[in-house]
Amino acid sequence: MNAMAKLSGGIFRAVCLLATAGVAVAAGAAAPLANVVFSDDFEAVSKAMPPPGWSMWGEEQYKTSANYTRDTANPHGGQACFRIHHPGQTGGYIVSSPARAIRPKQAMTYTVSFWARAEKRGPSKFLWTAYRSVGPFVGAPPPGSLTFDADGEWREFSFTVREGLDLFAGQSGYLMLTFMASADPKEERTLWVDDVRVVESPDPEPAGLLNDGVIPYDALQHRLLPGDRLEFAVDATNRLRRATRDAGGVSFHRVCGWTGQPYNKRGDYTLAPQLEAAIRDMRLPMTRFYALGDEPFGIEAAIDKAADVVRRVGVAEGCCVLEFERQGAETMLPPETWARGVAHSLRQGYAFHRWEIANEPYASMWGHGQAFPTAEAFAGHFKSVSRAIRAVDPRAQLGVDIHRDDVRWGNYLLKRLAGDYDFVAPHYYCGADVRKLPFEEIALTENYRMLDRALRTQALLRAYNPGRDVYQYDTEWGMICEAPGGKDADYERRNANIIGTLHRAVRLIYYTREDILRGASGWQMLNRLGQPGFGILAQEAPEKRFMLYWLYYYFNRHVGEWALAMDGVAPYHVPARESDRVPFSGPLTPVLTTLSRDGREIHLVIANGSWAGAVPCRVHLRNFVAGRATGVVLTNDNLDGSPLLDRKEDAVRDFPVTCDGSGMTCLLPPHSVVFLTMERCP
């Protein structure tokens, strides 16, 4: 591949530059036949802007026809080429018209080739835009993109995707070519393109992956039917299953964390006593540390310090996940280091047994993580490490960190490594734009979308691992949205204020109630005051708590041993259908109902995902007579409020309920999480 053409996105690969304007097909009688399925040399004379067969895409304010013109000055071949101008600080781009969409076929490869030049050297971008349908437009996973450096000379670039690996014909049924003159929307840039062509050829080695878009799977169970109120019955003898108590965990960053806690780089314990007590009060069922092999005091000492931390804060070692690889995945640890660390844990008598092999190894998708430039490279490393660990401890539980939406870093790894992993860590972050989407979409719809994704992943796990008990352990999750000014999500306060809190509450309800995963730890325990986007606790203000802290504090106190069935109705939120997204409807007020181990208490967690509407609630009890009910509500009325609370009372207060023995009645405030406990009569 031309050294200037770099790949953007881990699931995609650029192929070698073609030697001529045509596509070379292997010589010999057995060579597969290639079929040109798209071509444009821009020779047809037209004053249309953009040229016929191309459409402006993006937000309406950026659709300026003069930026997309047929240009007869200095074409690559013939009399004309395509001029694409991108003004700085805009978001427009050009796409081949839907009428010219390519309809992919199974077990085929699709190679796009084009010539390009620019008025100044720098990165431009080609990508495939994919749709399930174009009338109406329903989005599909994008097959890939190529970031390439163009300069003043005409140069040829080429990019190949494979059906069954980069896309599925039954899912991405319409492919459209897309050009962005500037890879950075902030930068002004002009790009000329000519002699564009797409060739379809049989794939000599079909990947044979299962299409998770069509594989049968259990739909998300909401447990309540649509209605005009929240009213349901709970039978204390009708148990769904054991509640997934490990869902209420929170991840640490590292032993030597980015805030300098709980240890600093010299190996000194630095966590303030107030924060240590606060973490202990959260009653965490599990937690996770990563990059233990990247600490300056060595892997053995890092494991000892992790054991010390969880002992101090009251988390069982057997419920923790440890990861060793170097942060950023720029270099990898040898399998011997992994084996040495696991052997040390066994010698010390620690109960650690879940080992997550690499944190987000797919960092190459973002131009980082040179240790694992491809999913195949990581798969080889995982196999070597898994063999080394199992030689030391055959009972170890090994986890693979997959990307939920990337075929190569997700589906492919699940198949390629089947039999080698015991759990997967998908990191189900929700990327909803908290500055643009309605509150209800963020709190409810985006969760229902992500939970559907998790259920499809679970179906793939079972299909690729017949007869094995494999499971999901979500070791990082939360809200994530770029902050104003282009800053990272850590700076976006809406990720962690009442918006992020309701989002997490809904996820925790489903993670705990439904059989989706075994455990989860939200991101992240320790933060800085200036970066509140994932705020839980901060050593700079040890006496204060972030709003998310109180969510976990009360949630873990209101999860019993058994998840109980519910029979009733709830108001539903039905989102407006977006052109490129399938809507996910569900209860406006999702509910978790659990029974304590001794059967003396029924706990309820109810999230009201409406920003403006209070919802009446009536709970009918069967085979349980309540003598007393108590409640706490978590809410805040400021959409842009600080996640860090000056006082607990700014978000938490006692909640009045009416208990009459046979049930409970209350009024759920808007944008709130209510925690209730009903005690059985003696």
**Nearest 10 degrees: CA dihedral of 202, 207, 211, 212?**
-150
Which amino acid is residue 271, in one-letter code? L
Sequence length of the chain is 682
DSSP state of 506: H
Q: What is the mean pLDDT of residues 381-396?
A: 98
Q: Mind listing the pLDDT tens digit for each residue in 451-466? A: 999 999 999 999 999 9
CA distance 625 to 617: 18
Please check the confidence at residue 150 and state whether its pLDDT lies above 90: yes
pLDDT more than 70, % of the chain: 94
**pLDDT over threshold 50, residue 1:** no
Cis before 524? omega within 30: yes
Query: Does any domain span residue 73?
Result: yes
In a domain, 332, yes or no: no
Report whether 118 contacts 183 (CB < 8 A): no
Higher pLDDT, 20 or 578: 578
Residue 530 belongs to a domain: no
CA dist 470 and 567 (Å) reads 31
**Pure H helices in 472-627:** 498-513, 547-557
pLDDT digits (tens, 9 = 90+) for 74-84: 999 999 999 99
671: tokens are: 């944008």
Can you give 277-332 as a three-state secondary structure string? HHHHHCCCCCEEECCHHHCCCCHHHHHHHHHHHHHHHCCCHHHEEECCCCCCCCCC
Q: Percent of the chain beyond pLDDT 90? A: 86
As a whole number of angstroms, the distance between CA 668 and CA 587 comes to 14
Cβ proximity of 128 and 142 under 8 Å: yes
pLDDT tens, residue by residue, 472-529: 999 999 999 888 888 899 999 999 999 999 999 999 999 999 999 999 999 999 999 9
Answer whether residue 398 shows pLDDT above 50. yes
Q: What is the 8-class DSSP label of residue 62?
A: G
Per DSSP, what are the bridge partners of residue 86?
189
Confidence of residue 15 (pLDDT cuts 50, 70, 90): very low
| CA dihedral for 384, 390, 393, 395, sign (positive or negative) | positive
Q: Which two tokens stand for residue 96?
A: 């081949």
Q: Is residue 499 part of a domain?
A: no
Q: Are 323 and 357 in contact (CB under 8 A)?
A: yes
CA distance 193 to 125: 12
Q: How many CA atoms lie within 13 A of 489 on its CB side?
A: 19
Establish if 25 belongs to a structural domain: no
CA distance 413 to 11: 11
Residues whose CB falls within 8 Å of the CB of residue 201, separated by 6 or more in sequence, listed in order:
25, 32, 33, 34, 35, 108, 109, 111
**408: its two tokens:** 């190569």
pLDDT of amino acid 5: 32
8 pLDDT higher than 60: no
Provide mean pLDDT across the span 409-436: 95
The 10s digit of each residue's pLDDT in 284-306 is 999 999 999 999 999 999 999 99
Rounded to an integer, the average pLDDT of 193-198 is 98
pLDDT for 24: 36
As separate numbers, helices (DSSP H) first and strands (DSSP E) second, the chain gives: 9, 36
Contact yes or no for 479/504 (Cβ under 8 A): yes
Query: Rounded distance, CA 605 to CA 245, Å?
Result: 13
Contact between 166 and 11 (Cβ < 8 Å): yes
CA distance 88 to 73: 23
* Rounded (5°) CA angle 505-506-512: 85
Per-residue pLDDT at 135: 85
Task: Kindly report the pTM of this predicted structure.
Answer: 0.86
| pLDDT bucket at 578, cuts 50 / 70 / 90 | low
The CATH number of whichever domain residue 116 belongs to comes to 2.60.120.260
CA angle 570, 575, 578 (to 5 degrees): 165
Q: Is residue 376 part of a domain?
A: no
Q: Is the pLDDT at 7 greater than 50, yes or no?
A: no
Contacts of 243 (CB under 8 A, 6+ apart): 512, 513, 559, 560, 561, 562, 563, 592, 594
* Tokens 């069967």 found at: 622
- Mean pLDDT (whole number) for 77-94: 96
Can you spell out the DSSP letters for 238-271? EEEEE--GGGGEEE---SB-TTS-BB-TTS-B--
pLDDT given for residue 577 in this prediction:
63
Average pLDDT of the residues of the chain: 92
- Do the beta carbons of residue 574 and residue 588 sit within 8 Å? no
The predicted structure's pLDDT at residue 579: 40
Answer whether residue 60 shows pLDDT above 70: yes
Q: Which domain holds residue 146?
A: 5-20+31-202
Reduce the DSSP state of residue 355 to 3 states and report it. Answer: strand
Does 311 map to a domain?
Answer: no
- By three-state DSSP, how is residue 627 classified? strand
Tell me how far apart the alpha carbons of residues 661 and 356 are, in angstroms, rounded to a whole number.
Answer: 47
Whole-number Å distance between alpha carbons of 562 and 25: 62
Q: How confident is the model at residue 248 (pLDDT cuts 50, 70, 90)?
A: very high
Write out the two tokens for 75. 């074409």
Specify the number of domains making up the chain. Answer: 1
Calpha distance 349→646 (Å, rounded): 42
What is the predicted pLDDT for the residue at 32? Answer: 54
Span of 28-37, 177-186, 432-441 with lowest mean pLDDT: 28-37
340 within some domain:
no
3-class DSSP state of 80:
coil
Element (DSSP H or E) covering residue 592: strand 591-595
Among residues 556, 653, 561, the alpha carbon closest in space to that of 605 is found at: 556
Buried b (16+ CB within 10 A) or exposed e, 56-66: bbeeeebbeee
| Distance from C-alpha of 407 to C-alpha of 207, rounded to nearest angstrom | 11
The average pLDDT across 242-261 equals 96
**What does the alpha-carbon distance between residue 294 and residue 327 come to, in Å, rounded to a whole number?**
7
CB distance 320 to 352 below 8 Å: yes
